[in-house]
Structure 1
Amino acid sequence: MTDDLAENRRIRVVLVDDQALLRTAFRVIFDETDDICVVGEAGDGATAVRVVDRTRPDVVLMDIRMPGMDGIEATRRIVATAPQIAILVLTTFDLDEYVYAALHSGANGFLLKDALADDLLSAVRTVAAGDCVTAPSVTRRLVAHFVRTTPAPVQPDDRLSPLTAREREVLTLIGRGRSNTEIAQDLQLAPGTVRTHIGRIFAKLDLRDRVQAVILTYELGLVQLNEGR
């Protein structure tokens, strides 16, 4: 009974990568922890969707480039049916065009495959807690790299129409990488008010997290390339 309770408190992870050796390496790392356990593995996207549906993990470590269904489509399908499951994208390069697509599809962040064990564990714990592992500055660099050839919209985008003027200001500051505390200072608002605005923005624009919010600010031209903090 005690073991069952302990198991229920652990972060349940599914490993998705077409390299069995890498999955084994990750499993070894997680097996040495008291708070994370591996509940399933998959070597391609289609299998990943089935395994996730069966095991209902807290976190999925998702490779992108796999035979058959890739990690982007698998991410899209998992998010569509189980948005509460956090997806951490695995990539070889931090400026991988596929990472942008995966984040846009609902992934909670990305991690380099050669990350240190401590960084891997920290990332899994972070996304399991509902946060993103990609710092806003890194996200902006990633997004900027792949929207560089996309001109900012000339006319206001209809997607912004549900927002109030204040909510647009808050969204823009999120895109610039400001933290909640910094947004409160910039706009002379109480921190609780900023959290309320962000919650409403996410609800109105159907955003899952800050990563998607940053991406949207670039797509809509609210934040320009190379725009500093």
Structure 2
Amino acid sequence: MSQLNPKFIYFDLDDTLLDHKKAEQAGLRDVYAHFDMFDGIAEEQLLTTYHKINRGLWEEYGRGEIDRHELHRRRFQETFREIGVDEGVHEHAGKVYMKYYRNHWEWIDGAKESYLKIAEQYKVGIITNGFAETQWLKIDRFNLKETTGHFVISEEVGEMKPHPKVFDRATDLAGVKREDILYVGDSFTSDVVGGSKANWQVAWYTKNPIEQGYKLAHLIFDDFSELLKALKIK
């Protein structure tokens, strides 16, 4: 385990502190139950198709090829088209999904207690890819303004992680040297690669590390107690 000696700690939000994947799955299952048009369509078919299409659209969005409105429109429109149901209700389905998705937001196991302990001893901040409106709702819902005033949201920056502009903005806000910043995140590409290129210390939260991660991350962990131990917090 490498020595972690930061002066400032940034956390990723989705799937590091908050369980986005679980909320997304639950929200989609609620959409499936909400509409009669899915009769004869397997629930798993909806989920699998949506994830495939949504992932591709986020890649297009990250490259600047589409805007958020096109992403929102196409993710259900193209999903419904592919599984053979009425794509004309895609706009309504998107609103229904967001309503259900918000009902399922919750902390990752162990994240809340560890984050609050860390925030007592270190200056902390949040960096997140995503749409500002939704991310600010999460920030308010989980009272994160009580522990930090430093929030970097990709849509407000105009680029998505791992773009250097995101990490440059965050470095300026932290007010410390780059090498004194620790970034805790779950995505290899967005968080580990992005943080490493910014010359930050990186703690990678993952249950499935890859070889390259061991070369870039200062700590790889799958339980937040390991992060506390590395920071010498009891």
Give the alignment's TM-score, normalised by structure 1.
Answer: 0.30
Higher RCO (C-alpha under 8 Å, 6+ residues apart): 2
Q: Of Structure 1 and Structure 2, which has the larger fraction of its residues in helix? A: 2
Using the size of structure 2 for normalisation, the TM-score is 0.30
